[in-house]
Amino acid sequence: MKKKITLKHIAKELDVSISTVSKALKNSEEIGRDTKEKIQAIAKLYNYRPNNIAISLKNKRTKNIGVIIPDIVHHFFTTVFRGIEKYANEKGYNVIVCVSDESFDKEVINMEMLANGSIDGFIMALSAETQMKNDFNHLKEVTEQGIPLVLFDRITDDVICDKVIINDEEAAYNAVKKLIESGKKRIALFTTENYLGVSSKRADGYFRALKDHKLETDENLVLELPFQFEKEDKSEAFFERYSFDAVLCVNEIFAIRAMRTAQRMGIKIPQELAIIGFTDGILSKLSSPSLTAVAQHGNRMGEIAAQMLIEKVESDQERESFRTEIIEATIIERESTIH
């Protein structure tokens, strides 16, 4: 087993000092031609690589980014992560991921684990529980320590930092508008329980669109579904009780479930029921009929978040200036709507 080689080894082997080796490997002008060549040759031979940890300790820079997301199985977060990872890697950064599992406690624990020197900055989306508790002390502590933080998608106004979001309200507005313009009159909304964070903005857009187009808003047409509903389907009863000719869903899963339920009941899509879902993921693309979706451009979001973070990390200037980047969502039309 080849043990990891250090400057010290090389120095001893050539009977020079450690600092000479260090300088030689940086091609410093101070060192003489032949010593330099000898050292570089040996370093190559042994395949010397500086120890990242030692460098981190010295520079107080880890070149690691901490990413905390509620869930990695959901397509949207996956794409954001992909964008972060891509940009970060290009800039020589590694990405440490922690999954909060929508739990406040896990979010706190993960942040504390990483905040003690392991990373140079955080990129995160708030867990559902955190949004409900409205407790952001763990975020504030981190920013007070001067660790840069970028929030994306699930953000809060209570913490002052850089943010990246999509125009949720407007996107929902436009989606509903599209439905109305295609002749739909009674439009339902499938959203999350206590519609937290982004869902509430989407609901705002939904209601505004109805009002602007002089359609009555019927609270009955808003269905709140449990966060992670995998098995039981409350929506069937909903379909039977109320009549509607279109539905906007705050995520892809809700949309697909709605579609399946409708199909099971013999409802024709999109003629009798048009569907639009947020998140333009694999499900939307590959379902049949394929699903018209609000693309959130997760990849781009991730890239921008990473860019903002690295910018902050690498600028030593302390002047606090934060911005919120808004990404335009776009509607991808497919078979589940009339156009």
Partner DNA sequence: TTGTAGGCGTTATCAC
Partner DNA sequence: GTGATAACGCCTACAA
Residues of the shown chain interacting with a second copy in the complex, contacts defined by CB under 8 A? 1-4, 47, 49-54, 56-57, 62, 64, 72-73, 75, 78-79, 81-82, 85-86, 89, 92, 94-99, 110, 112-118, 141, 144-146, 253, 256-257, 259-260, 263, 282-283, 286-288, 318
Shortest spacing between CB 17 and a second copy, in angstroms: 21
Q: Which does 1 bind (CB under 5 to 8 A by kind): DNA, a second copy, none?
A: a second copy
DSSP character at residue 67: E
Please give the Cα distance from 75 to 81 (Å, whole number): 10
Please give the Cα distance from 142 to 139 (Å, whole number): 5
Say which residues have a Cβ less than 8 Å from residue 103's Cβ, sequence separation at least 6: 127, 129
Q: Which does 103 bind (CB under 5 to 8 A by kind): DNA, a second copy, none?
A: none
Q: Which CB, 72 or 237, lies closer to a second copy? A: 72
Contact present, 25 and 48 (Cβ < 8 Å): yes
Q: Which CB, 117 or 183, lies closer to DNA? A: 117
Question: Phi-psi region for residue 110, left (φ > 0), alpha (ψ -120 to 50) or beta?
Answer: alpha
By CB under 7 A, name the binding residues for DNA. Answer: 4, 6-8, 15-20, 22-23, 25-26, 30-32, 34-36, 50-51, 54-55, 57-58, 60
Q: Which does 30 bind (CB under 5 to 8 A by kind): a second copy, DNA, none?
A: DNA
Shortest spacing between CB 13 and DNA, in angstroms: 12
Q: Which does 283 bind (CB under 5 to 8 A by kind): a second copy, DNA, none?
A: a second copy
Q: Which does 146 bind (CB under 5 to 8 A by kind): a second copy, DNA, none?
A: a second copy
Q: Which CB, 24 or 249, lies closer to DNA? A: 24
| Residue whose pair of structure tokens reads 């339920």 in the numeric block | 261
Shortest spacing between CB 260 and a second copy, in angstroms: 5
- At 294, the amino acid letter reads V
Contact present, 270 and 49 (Cβ < 8 Å): no
Cis peptide bond upstream of 148, omega within 30: no
Q: Which does 123 bind (CB under 5 to 8 A by kind): DNA, a second copy, none?
A: none
Q: Torsion angle, CA of 242/247/250/252, rounded to 10 degrees? A: 110
CA angle 17, 22, 23 (to 5 degrees): 100
Q: Which CB, 64 or 292, lies closer to a second copy? A: 64
Q: Which CB, 58 or 319, lies closer to DNA? A: 58
Q: Which does 288 bind (CB under 5 to 8 A by kind): a second copy, DNA, none?
A: a second copy
**Neighbour-count burial for 179-202, b at 16+ CB within 10 Å, e otherwise:** bbeeebeebbbbbbeebbbbbbbb
Q: Which CB, 113 or 326, lies closer to a second copy? A: 113
Contact present, 124 and 68 (Cβ < 8 Å): yes
Q: Which CB, 86 or 186, lies closer to a second copy? A: 86
